[in-house]
Amino acid sequence: MRVHIATDHAGLELSAHLIQHLGAKGYEMVDHGPKEYDPEDDYPAFCINAALAVVADQAAGVDALGIVLGGSGNGEQIAANKVKGIRAALAWNLATAKLAREHNDANVVAVGGRQHTVEEATEIIEAFLAEPFSNAERHVRRIGKIATYEATSEVVA
């Protein structure tokens, strides 16, 4: 699986750890930045570029997901979710990580690097990457309604 990763300055150390750790586990890691620590960096471009790459890979039939990191993960999730076709979920424990994939077919996980130890964050992200989408009819239907709104601005009841 290809994994696109992006961060802000607050998640830079966690990002470096994940690139090494997940790469050693066989994931193809693609780093969308930043490349160096800058406490004044602006994360939206990094996260949007990672999200765009996830959408492009998935459209091409590549098995791909994304990771966006920050101090809380909130802004990074918001930025990623501005990309059409992205369902980015903020995960703060194993249950939210697994449910994001199982019920929502989330294709990007957001994690707050300042909210967890490296070990906790790694475990959350590994759970997200490993969990399959259930394909349950109710979840497919709900995701379809979100996609319809995204494409047409029509709210389907």
Q: Which of 4, 9, 32, 76 is catalytic?
A: 76
Which stretches does DSSP call E strand in 7-139?
28-31, 64-70, 88-90, 108-112
Q: Which of 103, 131, 139, 150 is catalytic?
A: 103
Distances (CA, A) of 157 to 85, 86, 97, 141, 142: 20, 21, 27, 11, 10
103 part of the active site: yes
63 secondary structure, DSSP code: -
Cβ-Cβ contacts under 8 Å for 89 (sequence gap 6 or more): 77, 96, 97, 100, 104, 106, 108, 109, 110
102 part of the active site: no
Q: Which residues are identified as catalytic?
A: 76, 103
